[in-house]
């Protein structure tokens, strides 16, 4: 029974000093022989962080940090607070160099897909810690299924009053981000039929999926009071929505993206999100921000992008007009060029076109298996190995 006398957790938003950018990049650890996941994150992080602490082969203190995640088969590279995607890319490269050096010592490979094609969830080990133990205890079978990897992008917001208008505006572009990043077509040894099965899997957690479309910060505070009081969550960070406020960091965090194998692709999606938030904020300041898509359109678009990836036909507006998501992405890139110049990420934003030209991760994974000709899903894994950045 919920203790109604318990104090309500703090729900104050700590505004960012500016339109800052931060990125979190999750990578899987693989056995080099079997290409299956291996639970060696603790060892890898000890090696990598020890090398940093002793200054081995380093002249300056790193801005990026390395950390663990829910499962011991995952490491995460976290940038410092960056001005733009160029800075974020430098931080990611720095972190990746340290991870790769430690991985080389351990004899493991790094994997950048959104989910592993054939790893058994039953074989994965949960990272020690009360937070993770509580999550698994509550979510049970669905929580154990979360053998997934993603990219999270934080953009600084200077006022709590702006947070929900901006999140609601970003939901219009949820399918664009899902389609570009989709890299989880396989699961449990089979083709799921989805470009991003991670998207569908992750929303099964009780506080994950699409956020509610609150109109004001006050409405969000009332919601938090309700879920704290009824024991749904004990901290706002337990709301694992696809797009959410980060109270402590003063950011909007976009969590809708599958994993990537290349730093330049992570930087490209980060630039796109950074530019989107800045562009929407400019429109909000000018009083011309469009009304958000109805929730049923947002939900349908999310499913279409997860199912069909870059081949999705999405609902573009409340008037029910539809069109290919690829066409919408290219139009969006053109519209965001002035914002990219202001933020200093023109090159990184332009690299989104490279994803369209090379194919999203799910396309390259399926192509690799087709070329193999035997149905061996190790070909899909190899297509998403992280290349050496040295």
Yes or no: domain 21-381 corresponds to CATH 1.20.1740.10: no
> Of 327, 380, 339, nearest to 197 (Cα)?
380
Q: Which residues contact 345 (CB under 8 A, 6 or more apart)?
A: 84, 85, 86, 271, 274, 275
Q: What is the pLDDT of residue 57?
A: 45
Label residue 6 by pLDDT band (50, 70, 90): very low
Domain spans of the chain, in order of start? 21-381
Q: 96-101: which pairs have CB atoms within 8 A and are 24 or more residues apart?
A: 96/263, 96/386, 96/389, 97/389, 97/390, 98/48, 98/51, 98/52, 98/62, 98/64, 98/66, 99/27, 99/44, 99/48, 99/66, 99/75, 100/386, 100/388, 100/389, 100/390, 101/47, 101/48, 101/51
In the predicted model, what is the mean pLDDT of residues 354-381?
97
For tokens 């999140």, the residue is: 167
**What is the Rg, in whole angstroms, of the alpha carbon atoms belonging to the chain?**
20
- What is d(CA 170, CA 276) in angstroms, rounded to the nearest whole number? 7
Q: What is the pLDDT of residue 14?
A: 92
Label residue 389 by pLDDT band (50, 70, 90): confident
Residue 377 carries which DSSP code? Answer: T
- Residues 238-291 pLDDT 10s: 999 999 999 999 999 999 999 999 999 999 999 999 999 999 999 999 999 999
pLDDT exceeds cutoff 90 at 21: yes
User: Are 64 and 95 a contacting pair, CB within 8 Å?
Assistant: yes
For residue 290, give both structure tokens: 């469009």
pLDDT exceeds cutoff 50 at 56: no
Label residue 132 by pLDDT band (50, 70, 90): low
User: Are 313 and 301 a contacting pair, CB within 8 Å?
Assistant: no
| Sign of torsion over alpha carbons 361, 362, 363, 366 | positive
Share of the chain above pLDDT 90, in %: 82
The predicted model scores a pTM of 0.94
């Amino acid at each position: 029974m919920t203790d109604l006398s318990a104090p309500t957790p703090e729900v104050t938003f700590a505004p960012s000093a500016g339109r800052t950018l931060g990125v979190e990049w999750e990578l899987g650890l693989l056995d080099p022989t079997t290409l299956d996941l291996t639970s060696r994150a603790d060892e890898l992080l000890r090696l990598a962080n020890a090398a940093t602490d002793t200054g081995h082969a380093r002249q300056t203190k790193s801005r990026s940090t390395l950390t663990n995640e829910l499962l011991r088969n995952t490491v995460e590279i976290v940038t410092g607070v960056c001005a733009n995607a160029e800075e974020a890319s430098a931080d990611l490269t720095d972190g990746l160099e340290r991870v790769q050096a430690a991985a080389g010592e351990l004899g493991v490979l790094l994997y950048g897909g959104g989910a592993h094609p054939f790893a058994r969830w039953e074989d994965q080990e949960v990272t020690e810690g009360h937070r993770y133990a509580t999550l698994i205890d509550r979510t049970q079978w669905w929580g154990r299924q979360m053998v997934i990897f993603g990219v999270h992008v934080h953009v600084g917001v200077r006022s709590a009053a702006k947070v929900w208008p901006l999140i609601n505006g970003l939901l219009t572009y949820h399918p664009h981000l899902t389609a570009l990043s989709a890299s989880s077509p396989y699961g449990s040894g089979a083709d799921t039929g989805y470009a991003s099965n991670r998207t569908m899997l992750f929303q099964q957690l009780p506080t994950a999926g699409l956020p509610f479309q609150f109109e004001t910060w006050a409405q969000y505070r009332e919601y938090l009071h309700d879920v704290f009081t009824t024991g749904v969550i004990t901290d706002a960070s337990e709301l694992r929505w696809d797009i959410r406020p980060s109270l402590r960091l003063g950011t909007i965090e976009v969590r809708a993206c599958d994993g990537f194998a290349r730093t330049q692709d992570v930087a490209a999606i980060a630039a796109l999100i950074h530019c989107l938030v800045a562009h929407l904020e400019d429109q909000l300041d000018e009083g011309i921000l469009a009304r958000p898509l109805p929730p049923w359109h947002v939900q349908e678009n999310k499913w279409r992008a997860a199912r069909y990836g870059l081949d999705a036909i999405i609902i573009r507006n409340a008037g029910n007009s539809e069109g290919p998501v690829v066409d919408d992405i290219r139009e969006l890139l053109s519209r965001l060029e002035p914002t990219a110049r202001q933020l200093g990420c023109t090159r990184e934003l332009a690299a989104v076109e490279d994803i369209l030209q090379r194919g999203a991760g799910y396309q390259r994974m399926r192509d690799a298996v087709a070329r193999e000709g035997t149905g061996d899903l190790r070909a899909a894994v190899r297509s998403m190995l992280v290349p050496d950045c040295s």
